[in-house]
Amino acid sequence: MAGLATSGSNPDVSLLYDINGLADDAPGWFDRTMEFVGEYGLMLGMVLLVLWCWWTMRKRAATLDDAATSLAAIVWAPLAAGIAVLINIPIRGFVERPRPFVDHEGLEVLIDGKTDFSFVSDHATLAMAMGVALFVANRKFGIAGIALAVLEGFCRVYMGVHYPTDVIGGFALGTAVALLLSPVAMALLTPVTNAMARSGRVGWLVRERGSLREAAGTREAQSESGTEPGLGPDVRDAASDRDLAA
């Protein structure tokens, strides 16, 4: 199955020229920035976002079980991205869609050396899989991750190395893997992170000891004062952010 879009009248091709045409009017420094951002910068930002989510949620965990569940959900984000890219290998081989600059002239290609097939975009797949998996773990970080993924898709078309439908296909693949395999991943990962949480050596990876002691102390104080034990605002926020993981 050769290219999915070969005609200039095709909306996919028209949108490609419209977005990539912005590079013609942009200054050279901006195009170089977009090249770095689209090829490396946004993916690095996604990794840092996952680490930030882990660092934040390990401090806000109310119990060891909560901490273990949170870590399992966060670990699923990079794993989902890796699995989605592996699934994309046979898809690319089956579709065999050439890069847009192979079939269409006049494109401003910002990066050289792209000789593999175009559909679907690995970068879009990776970014959206991580963004959606983060959304399952924590809505606030997940929204930021999905926004980065959308920007990544735009950059790939702007750079002239993907059709818009390559990006859309990557978004769909990443989303499907992150959501459909999440229950299986959580069932497999949670026992591992539970064991880690109770380990004296690697327990710090799962939760911050001080935050758990503070949460326990707050519940004891509420019990002694005669008020109904409850969760603090940070813990309530964390529980709300994780409601989709259930």
Say which CATH number the domain at 85 has.
Answer: 1.10.606.20
* Residue 225 clears pLDDT 70, i.e. is over it: no
Question: Is residue 104 situated within a structural domain?
Answer: yes
User: Euclidean distance between the first and final Cα of the chain, in Å?
Assistant: 40
Question: Is residue 103 situated within a structural domain?
Answer: yes
Q: What is the pTM of this model?
A: 0.80
Question: Is residue 166 situated within a structural domain?
Answer: yes
* Residue 52 clears pLDDT 80, i.e. is over it: yes
How large is the average pLDDT for residues 35-39? 93
Per-residue confidence at 41, pLDDT binned at 50, 70, 90? Answer: very high
Give the pLDDT confidence score for residue 9 in this predicted structure.
66
Question: Is residue 207 situated within a structural domain?
Answer: no
pLDDT tens digits, residue range 148-190?
999 999 999 999 999 999 999 999 999 999 999 999 999 999 9
pLDDT tens digits, residue range 129-158?
999 999 999 999 999 999 999 999 999 999
Give the pLDDT confidence score for residue 147 in this predicted structure.
97
pLDDT tens digits, residue range 4-18?
444 446 889 999 999
Question: Is residue 17 situated within a structural domain?
Answer: yes
Average pLDDT, the chain: 83
Q: How many domains does the chain have?
A: 1
Give the pLDDT confidence score for residue 209 in this predicted structure.
63
Give the pLDDT confidence score for residue 235 in this predicted structure.
40
Range of the domain at 132: 11-190
How large is the average pLDDT for residues 203-223? 57
